[in-house]
Structure 1
Amino acid sequence: MRYVKWAVLAIIVVTLGSFLHYSLPQHDVVRVVGTYQERQDLNDWTRIFWSSPDDQSGTLSSRDVQFIQTIRTNGKPMVYRNEDTGWRWPPYFKFDTASLQTEADDLKSTADAPKWAVVTHYGWRNELISIFPNAVGIRAVEGPDVTIIPWFNIFFFAFLLFLVVLLRRMWLQFRERMVDPALADAGEAWDSVEARAENARKEARGFFGRMGAWLNTWRAKK
């Protein structure tokens, strides 16, 4: 059972960690090299990694999606999709896809005269199943060595830690006031039941013992 407990705990931690890693904002220092729009066929399970059709034109199975092509500081390419999130999850409330695409176009540059920018995004890039992180913001920076402090993530995890500590203290107080007394009462009640059962067994043994002794006296008379 201990292995099952740790396995369940590991599954919960991995699932929660993956969910947070996908949903929380991330920041990449990049050089924008191009933008384009492409028709995407979203007729398989990977549609969960794209925005809802309620927030985009077209249908669930096929619609136009805008993309931003970039080169990261290590020279590797990174492509972002540019879709509105609307009022859905994750709650970025993004409605400015066209404006973001225009800002990205304005930041295009070449390797000889680079312009560096920070792209804020959520999601994952996977070439095997063709999924892309969704860009939610872009801004110019002075150079590739800029320091980015993820303030939102810091405050989020600080709040999450505070919430966990608060819930743990509430549970400990609840257990001290309600659960432990109830278990103690149940234990006392069980002890009382066992005591009564033991007394009943003793009385039964005494009764049957007296009956046996009385029967023996009749056998002796015969």
Structure 2
Amino acid sequence: MRYVKWTFLTVIALIVVGFFHYTLPQHDVVRVVGTYQERQDLSDWTRIFWATPDDQSTGLINRDVQFIQAVKANGKEVVYRNEDTGWNWPPYFKFDTANLLARAQDMISTSDNPKWAVVTHYGWRNIYFSSFPNAISIKPVAGPDVTIIPWFNIFFFVFLAVILLMLRRMWLQFRERSIDPVLEDMGEAWDSVEDRAGAAATEARGVWGRFKAWLGTWRGKPRV
């Protein structure tokens, strides 16, 4: 059972970590090299990796999606999709897809005369599932060595830790005030039942002993 418990907890932890890693914003320092638009099929389970803007029906089987091509400082290529999130999940409330595309096109550069930008995005890139991170914003930076501090993620996890500590404190207080007294009363009641059962067993052994002693008195008496 111990292995089952730890396996279950590990699976839950991986799901939680994966959820936060997919949903929370990430930052890449890149050089934009191009943009394009392509029709994507949304008929299979990989639909979960695409946004569902409020102005589009969930019954669509395909639609045109904008993409932003970029290259990192280490030469690794990365492709972002450019989709509105609207009021849906995750709550980035992105409605400026067209403006973001214009900014990306304005920042297109070559390796001889690079323009560096920080792309804030969420999601994962997976070539097998054809999933792309969704670009949320693009801002110019001085160079590829700029340091990006993820303030939102820091504040989010601090806030989450405070909430968890408050919930733990509330649970401990609730347990101390409501559950522990009940368990203590149940323990005392059980001890009382055990004491009475022990006393009854002792009394029964005493009666049986007296009965055996009385039978013993008849063994030595002569028959008439």
Structures share fold, TM-score greater than 0.5 = yes
Structure 2: stretches of 5+ with no match in the other structure: none
Aligned-partner Cα distance in 2 for 1:87–1:58: 14
* Counterpart in the other structure of 2:80: 80
Which residue identity lines up with residue 153 of structure 1 in the other structure?
N
Instruction: Please give the residue correspondences for 1:28-107 in structure 2 after superposition, counting only pairs within 5 Å.
Output: 28-52=28-52, 54-56=54-56, 59-107=59-107
* Counterpart in the other structure of 2:12: 12
* Counterpart in the other structure of 2:201: 201
The worse-fitting range, judged by mean Cα deviation, of 82-91 and 177-186 is 177-186
Q: TM-score, length-normalised on structure 2?
A: 0.90
* Counterpart in the other structure of 2:192: 192
Whether contact under 8 Å (1:80, 1:132) holds in the other structure is yes
* Counterpart in the other structure of 1:24: 24
Pick closer, same or farther for the CA change 1:174–1:57 going to 2, 3 Å: closer
Structure 1 position 172, deviation (Å): 2.1
The worse-fitting range, judged by mean Cα deviation, of 14-23 and 201-210 is 201-210
Aligned-partner Cα distance in 1 for 2:93–2:6: 37
Aligned-partner Cα distance in 2 for 1:46–1:68: 20
Aligned-partner Cα distance in 1 for 2:8–2:87: 33
Q: CA RMSD in A?
A: 2.1
SS at match of 2:43: coil
SS at match of 1:128: coil
Number of aligned residues: 222
Aligned-partner Cα distance in 2 for 1:172–1:55: 46
Aligned-partner Cα distance in 1 for 2:216–2:97: 102
Aligned residues: percent identity? 69
Structure 1: stretches of 5+ with no match in the other structure: none
Aligned-partner Cα distance in 2 for 1:44–1:212: 84
Whether contact under 8 Å (1:29, 1:119) holds in the other structure is yes
Aligned-partner Cα distance in 2 for 1:27–1:186: 56
Pick closer, same or farther for the CA change 1:8–1:55 going to 2, 3 Å: farther
